Copies of this chain bind each other. A is one copy, B any other.
């Protein structure tokens, strides 16, 4: 999704996902370590489980969270690549090429082989 040319729709998804404080808190929690969906729901006792999972879905669609199923559990990982792309776009020309290389590798990996 983030490989090669990163399009406006991708940036729209990333910034809309980051524009909500609960979603930013989820990313804070995942920055420290991967967490199960159950753990994340438990971290927001004021929200019902369904709401927390919707926030998680928005983060996943934006490429900020990668989920991995292990048995009955779903482990959520922070993917900082979109943050690196933001940084590369407006701060670091020096960082741009390596970030784009990573993005291309990732996109290639995610393309289903036929």
Task: Decide: B21 and A19 in contact? CB cutoff 8 A.
Answer: no
What is the total number of residues of chain A having a CB less than 8 Å from a CB of chain B? Answer: 33
Task: Decide: B80 and A83 in contact? CB cutoff 8 A.
Answer: no
- How many monomers of this protein are in the complex? 2
Main secondary structure of the interface of A (DSSP, over half): helix
Task: Decide: B90 and A78 in contact? CB cutoff 8 A.
Answer: yes
Contact with B along A9-32 (1 / 0, CB 8 A): 001100110110100100110010
Smallest distance from the beta carbon of A31 to chain B beta carbons, Å? 6
Interface residues, chain A, with chain B CB atoms under 8 Å away? 8, 11-12, 15-16, 18-19, 21, 24, 27-28, 31, 78-81, 83-84, 86-87, 89-91, 97-99, 101-102, 105-106, 108-109, 113
